[in-house]
Chains A and B, each alone.
Chain A
């Protein structure tokens, strides 16, 4: 059993990780994004309608960190899109230890995007379902599943959520 102090510290550590994660995206430091995951990580963005129906079709699906790095290179060098200006907002944070050095964490997110024409719109609402592990380098995402409610993706999705 964890003491209440231990639980509070764990919660702070995991919330700090989630805050660093969204700041990395919102500040357009995409190159740092893969470094927050383990080598064998899973990163997935999937519509809630598929998730609830038990259907696998993803919006983005990566089953190792190399695919995350590939996505960054492609976004920087290959793909053409209007550069998004994301702001993530988080709520409803929950976490628990599953075993020593391994934690589940979830929270709601809203991403507001601002276009080059100066319009800010809610781009996506959804929920993160994460598995975090303690590594010698610090806390890393072993799995991050982004389940989105906003089933109609406006125009396109380039940057990760």
Chain B
């Protein structure tokens, strides 16, 4: 039985059927089914993908560690005494207790509090209390081998200071995983050493894939985020670039390229709500844009599936880490950063422009509102599907923001990874 057959069989009852092969119809149960969620943990997060864990700049020194997750699985990323990056499942080899209990810190050894089994930063088991027994007590059997009971190590690698890990022994290397289409855009942002500026966390009552759709959907930007339109920031007619990776279509980048303001007419003609010319900001500094890159963009939003969204909005930079928390919740962590050689002016602008993006961001706060509206709206309609038709007849179009091409590409890649056939291909 191949994986597709297995999926079709086990999901007959759950009713997950993609009506079309082109990704233009997504069954709503994809966002709510516990069975689908459990299978995603296996086939995506513990499968052949590289998951973003954090920035090297978060753990600059030997012994620095951060507790995080790949999907649901608790993992720790750390830097060993020799400076190498390491990631292991945060689960004691003895009885399964979480070993690392602090969100961040510095330690060259990690000891489980339950029975004090102790590991080095690379996850090697160093010692067990009473291993040799004591007086009349026996201790561990003679054949117990410490070397065979280390922590579960993950493949880990970093690309330009972004740390990724995978459970898969077979997935290609990280650079190939990011791929030739996406690499240059990651390089664009990570072309020189970065400094970690801290994080903000947002918790949403909605499925993680709704957020992935959101960041691949430039169509919503000027319609949902009215800060743009109200204060004249972002325009439908703005020059854009929307690309997906050619391997699976799960990664993508959306660029909004700065050009002259097209004015209010385009919005007024479309009768879009609440456009009003009279609102201006008293303090425009929040919309400043100090040129930093060859191509000047107001927005660079790039996904590296499944846990990373790279963000450049004006001069604010963030690596957003997306963590699923059950079928109807996700956590989104905005890791803000700057460059080591930032001038004071530029650094201050990055801090100020954190007002634009994040849980309270002027042009991002609505995203979780929207994904939660979907999560609430689809209850009872699990066998119905969403309709993703915008620019469907122009699948190769890359310069329009009024498009759902990247979202459809995402769903085709997702179906492929999950082994979900579509009805058009005879899938159940």
> Which residues on A are within 8 Å of B, measured CB to CB?
45, 47, 49-50, 53, 55-64, 66-67, 69-70, 73-74, 77-82, 151-158
Choose, from B17-25, B161-169, B354-362, B407-415, the stretch at the interface: B354-362
Extra contacts, 7 of them, besides A56-B351, A57-B354 (Cβ < 8 A), are A47-B200, A58-B200, A67-B283, A69-B282, A77-B274, A78-B230, A152-B202
Q: In the assembly, what is the distance between CA of A45 and CA of B355, in Å?
A: 10
Which of B202, B283, B369 makes the CB contact (< 8 A) with A66?
Answer: B283
Interchain CB contact under 8 A, A58 and B362: no
Write 13 A-B pairs (CB below 8 A) sorted by A numbering. Answer: A58-B354, A59-B358, A62-B355, A67-B355, A73-B279, A78-B231, A80-B226, A152-B202, A153-B201, A153-B360, A155-B205, A156-B359, A156-B366
CB distance from B33 to the nearest CB of A (A): 22
Interchain CB contact under 8 A, A79 and B366: yes
Interchain CB contact under 8 A, A156 and B200: no
Report B-chain residues with C-beta under 8 Å of the C-beta of A64. Answer: 283
Choose, from B178-186, B191-199, B398-406, the stretch at the interface: B191-199
Which secondary structure characterizes the binding site on chain B? mixed
Interchain CB contact under 8 A, A53 and B227: no
**B:193-221 near A, CB below 8 Å:** 196-205
Interchain CB contact under 8 A, A78 and B355: no
Interchain CB contact under 8 A, B197 and A70: no
Interchain CB contact under 8 A, A67 and B286: yes
CB distance from B331 to the nearest CB of A (A): 6
Report A-chain residues with C-beta under 8 Å of the C-beta of B227. Answer: 74, 78-79
Q: In the assembly, what is the distance between CA of A158 and CA of B203, in Å?
A: 14
Looking across the interface, which residue of chain B has its beta carbon closest to that of A58? Answer: B354
Given the known interface contacts A77-B230, A77-B276, A79-B227, the answer about A70 and B198 at a Cβ–Cβ threshold of 8 Å is no
Which of B226, B231, B351 makes the CB contact (< 8 A) with A58?
Answer: B351
Report B-chain residues with C-beta under 8 Å of the C-beta of A62. Answer: 355
B61 within 8 A of A: no
Interchain CB contact under 8 A, B360 and A70: no
CB distance from A123 to the nearest CB of B (A): 11
Looking across the interface, which residue of chain B has its beta carbon closest to that of A80? Answer: B366
